[in-house]
Structure 1
Amino acid sequence: MNSVVMVDQERKSMTGRKKVAVITPGSFVIPSGRSSSVERVIEKVAPLAADELNIRIFGVADRQLPNIGMVGSVPCYRLPGGRRYLQSVLQHLRKWHPDTVDVHNRPRLASQIKGKLPFTRVLLTLHSTTFISATYRPSSETFHWLNSVDGIIVNSQYLSTELRLRFPQLQVPIQVNPLGVSLEDFLPRWTPLGESLRQARLADFGWENRKVVLYVGRLLPTKGVHHILNAWPAIQEQVPDAMLIVVGSAFYSAQRETGYVRKLKKLAEPYQDRIVFLPYIEYPKVADWYNLADVVVVPSGEEEAFGLVNVEAMAAAIPVVAANTGGIPEIIDDGRSGFLLPSEGLSYRLAERVTYLLGDEDLRRRMGCAGRELARIRFRWQHTAKRWGDLIRGTDGI
C-alpha cells in the first residue's frame, strides 16, 4: 500500500474519529467481483463513511492481491483464512484497539471476538437467515452467539422480525439498515443513450426485436428459478418474440453444475433459441445485462432477506416481477415499480404478469422510471452508509 496514504490514514485517526474494524466473513477476498454480496456491501459502504470514521477492513487473503491494500480510501488487511482467520483478526484488533468491531454475517465469529475482547463493542451485521437457521446450528447455540454481542444490524424489517420470532428471548438491540445501489453503475433503460446501446447490443447477439426477461442471481432452489422456467411455455405462447436470459451459477464465480442446475437446463431444452444461460458475471459488468432487459424476475423463496437484484433492476429502470416474500415487499412498490406475487401458484402468476408487462411498453416505461426514482431517493449506498455511520457512533439505537 502507498506509504503516503497510510500516513494520511494514521494522521486522520488522531483527529478523534472513532475507530471501527469491519470484519468480513472470511470466505471471499475483497474487493472482488468474484465475491458474494456481503463483500460488495462492505466495499460500497465503508469508503462512504470514511470521512467521519477511522475504518479498517479485515478479510481473507488470496494469491492475487497484496496482504495490505485499499478499498477506496479504507485500508484493507487480508489475513490467513480457515481456522487461522479468528486468531489473525484478533492479533490485529489487539494492536489497533478499535472502539467498535462490526462482524458481517458470521454470528459465531462475532461471539468469539466478543469473548476474547469483552470490553470492546462488537456488532453483528446479519445479511440473511442462513446462519441463524436450525439446519446450520442448533437454535440454542445460535441464540448464545447472538445474545453475546452488543447489537445486531439487519438489512430489512423482515429479518429483524425473523430474529425476534426465532429467538424470542433475545435481549440484544436490533436495527434495520436497508442496502443500496450505485446509480452511476447502471445506465437507465429509458434514455436515448440507454436505448441506442441496448439496440446495438441486441443486434450484436442476433436478438433484434426480442423482448427480454432477465433473471440475475444464484441458481438455487431457494431463489425460485424453476418458477420462471415452469412459466415459460405460457409466456412464449402469448409473446412469441420473448426470450429469457438467466445470469448466474450455483456458486459464486464457479461454474460447477448441480442437479438443480441440470434440472433447469432440462426444462429449457424445448426453447434453446429463446432461453439463454450465462455464467456468473462479475459486478459491475452485470449492469450491461440489465440494460438489455424489458422485465426482471425475482421469484425468490420466503427467506429472501433483501435481494440486491431488486434495487439493481430499479437503478436500470426495469420493472420487477417478484415474489411477495421476505424483505422484497420493503423494496418493490407493488403496482408502481413492479408487481409482487403471492407464493401460491407462483409459476402461473409469473406467466400472467410477465406477459402483461411485455405487451405494454408504456407501462414498462412508467414502472421502470418510477423504480429508478425510488432507488434514487431511498436505496443509494450513501443512504446505507449514513445510517451505518450513525449506528457505529451510537447515535441511532445501538
Structure 2
Amino acid sequence: MRIAFIATEKLPVPAVRGGAIQIYIDGVTKIISKNHDVTVFSITDEQLPNKETKNRVSYIRYPEDQYLQGIQKGLKERNFDVVHLCNRPKWINEMKEVAPNTKFVLSVHNEMFTEEKISEEEGSICIDSVEKIVTVSDYIGSTISLRFPKAKGKISTVYSGVDLANYYSIWSPTGNKRRQEVRKELGIVGRDVVLFVGRLSKVKGPHLLLQALPSIIEKHPKVMLVFIGSKWFGENQINNYVKHLYTLGALHQENVTFIKFVEPSRIPILYNMADIFVCSSQWQEPLARVHYEAMASGLPIITSNRGGNPEVIDQGKNGYIIDDFENPEEYAKHINSLLEKPATRERIGKNGRLFAEKQFGWSRVASDLLNVYQTI
C-alpha cells in the first residue's frame, strides 16, 4: 500500500522538538515502511531539510503558513491508497476534494469534536468522509460518539506506544547503569527521586506536587522532586505560571530540581534516574504518553483519574489511580507509601515493564493500524 501520514501544523516529524503526535508517527512509520510505501507530511524546521528519505520513509515538509496548501499539492501529485490524518477533522473535506478516490483514516489524539472546536455540520461531514476513526483512548472515542452517534461504528481505540529499544527498565543492567550515571551527573546520588515529565502548565498539575512536598519531606527528607519540561515543546520561555512553580520550588531548594526542555533522544535516559513517576493532570487528559514511557522504564506510576489516563493502569499492579486528584495530600500519601516500600516499588515497576513489552510497543501499534487500513 501507498500510505501517507499527515502531522499537525504544530511540530515537525521526526520529533526533533517532541510532541506526542510526532512521536506516534515516528514510531509506527519506521515499522510500516518495511512492507509499504510511506510518506510523511509535516511542517518545516531549521534542523531538517524540506524533503528527504530516511529509513525507507519519505518526508515532505512545508512552512506552517503554507502547510494545508502544500499537503493538497502533495496529495494531488501522489496517488495514495490510504491517508492517515492526525487530529485535524476540519481538514478532511479539503483533502477529499483533491484526492476523491483515496481512503481517509482520521486519528484523534485530543477532544477535537467538541462544540468549541468543530460545528455540527463540519463534524458530520468529516465522519461521513472518513473510512475509520482511530482514537488514543476509549475516553476520546466516547467524546466523539456521544455528540455524533453515527460515528460509533467507525471508531476504534488504538492505544499509543513506546520505543522499547530505547527505554530500559531501571531493574535491567543497562537501565541501572544509566541510573547511576544520570544521578551522578545531576548530583542526586542517594536521593529518593520522584519524577514529573511534561509541559509546565496548570492543567498538568505540577503545582500540586510542589504543594505536596512538605508532607513528603517530613517522612522522607532525602526526597528529590524532579520536573522535566517547559512551558511549550522545544521552548524554555517563562510565563507567570512557570514563575509561580519556581517560587514554590525555591521554598525547598534542596528537594526540587527543574530540568528545562531537553532533546527527545535524552528523555529515555532521564527516566532511569527516578524511583517513582507521577502524572498529576487536572484536565481530561486524552491519555498521556508519559505513562507508556514510565512503564517501559520500570517505574511505578501514580496518575490522576482524568480522561483516558486510568485505562492503562491496573490498580496496584503497574501503578495507582488518584480519584481525589485536586488534593496535594493524596499525592503525598501515595508517594510516601511507595518510598516506604522498596519491594512494592520493584514489583510494580517490573510489572509495568512487562505491560509495556506485551501491549505498548510500536510493533503492536503499527499492527493495529495496518489491520484498520486493510479492512477499509
- Shorter-chain TM-score tier: over 0.9
2:83 alignment counterpart: 101
Q: Determine if the alignment matches structure 1 residue 79 to structure 2 residue 46.
A: no
1:261 alignment counterpart: 242
2:45 alignment counterpart: 62
Structure 2: distance between partners of 1:290 and 1:115? 45
Counterpart AA for 1:243: M
1:3 alignment counterpart: none
Say if 2:76 and 2:98, in contact at 8 Å, map to a contact too.
no
Displacement after TM superposition at 1:138 (Å): 4.5
What CA deviation, in whole Å up to 9, does each residue of 1:39-66 have, x standing for no partner?
1110110120123322111111233322
Q: TM-score, length-normalised on structure 1?
A: 0.89
Structure 1: distance between partners of 2:325 and 2:50? 49
1:9 alignment counterpart: none
CA RMSD across the alignment: 1.9
Q: Determine if the alignment matches structure 1 residue 36 to structure 2 residue 19.
A: yes
Which aligned pairs between 1:1-398 and structure 2 lie closer than 5 A? 18-82=1-65, 84-129=66-111, 131-138=112-119, 140-170=121-151, 173-394=154-375, 398=376
Structure 2: distance between partners of 1:46 and 1:192? 30
Say if 1:152 and 1:172, in contact at 8 Å, map to a contact too.
no
How many residues are treated as equivalent by the alignment? 376
Counterpart AA for 1:68: K
CA 138–234 in structure 1, closer or farther in 2 if over 3 Å, else same: farther
What CA deviation, in whole Å up to 9, does each residue of 1:150-175 have, x standing for no partner?
32111111111111123335466111
Counterpart AA for 1:216: V
Structure 1: distance between partners of 2:268 and 2:25? 19
1:7 alignment counterpart: none
CA 260–172 in structure 1, closer or farther in 2 if over 3 Å, else same: farther
What CA deviation, in whole Å up to 9, does each residue of 1:9-42 have, x standing for no partner?
xxxxxxxxx2111111122221132131111110
- Extract unaligned runs of 5+ from structure 1: 1-17
Structure 2: distance between partners of 1:391 and 1:352? 43
CA 71–162 in structure 1, closer or farther in 2 if over 3 Å, else same: farther
Counterpart AA for 2:363: Q
Q: Work out the percentage of aligned pairs sharing the same amino acid.
A: 30
Say if 2:282 and 2:325, in contact at 8 Å, map to a contact too.
no
Structure 1: distance between partners of 2:350 and 2:250? 34
Displacement after TM superposition at 1:388 (Å): 0.6
CA 62–191 in structure 1, closer or farther in 2 if over 3 Å, else same: closer
- 1:132 is paired with a residue whose SS is coil
